[in-house]
Amino acid sequence: MRVPFFIDLNDFKSINDQYGHAAGDQVLREVALRLQDTVRSSDLVGRIGGDEFALIIEGVESQNDVAALAEKVAEAIEVPIALGEVAAHVGASIGVAFFPDRECHFGDRITLKSIPTGASALRGEVDHESVRRLLEKADAAMYTAKRKALRYWIHEHIADDTLRGTVSRVSEPPPAA
């Protein structure tokens, strides 16, 4: 299954303000490299704009996998970034939209199917409106993480044929020990 992660860097504006835009650009490049090093080559890493990034993670099977990867991503971003003689400290707010079932149902039609790794996507195989909604849920989860000052927030959808729709719930990480 493919799972989208939305990532927003925390306090990035202060890096630009304090060290200049060239330093901010260096931080963005370093974060992009760290994200690529954190995920597998089959996963997709992209910068959406500004200080926001997206990951599309392949083959996630459980919410525990999602939480473990969100922690790993946050930890990679939080390592100080050398800017000449100073170190910049950035954190991130991460939002994830997770569908535990292989298919997500809206009403009577299947709207998002898991596409096996390596499969070529042909025109019409993926309902683009459902993909857009999935990405919106990940984006909304990221803003929830930011608002609650958490590393990540998982928005989980559970297909329920008896309701003929979806039930959504949110999950937050366990309290730090």
Domain extents in the chain: 3-171
Q: 3-171 in CATH: which number?
A: 3.30.70.270
Confidence tier at 7 by pLDDT (50, 70, 90)? very high
Contacts of 82 (CB under 8 A, 6+ apart): none
59 sits in the region (left: phi over 0; alpha: psi -120 to 50; else beta) called: left
Residue 122: the pLDDT is: 42
User: For residues 133 and 89, which has the higher predicted lDDT (pLDDT)?
Assistant: 89
pLDDT, mean of residues 14-32: 96
pTM of this structure: 0.73
* Candidate ranges 114-123, 150-159, 163-172; pick with highest mean pLDDT: 150-159
Residue 157: the pLDDT is: 61
pLDDT, mean of residues 17-30: 96
Q: Which residues are catalytic?
A: 51
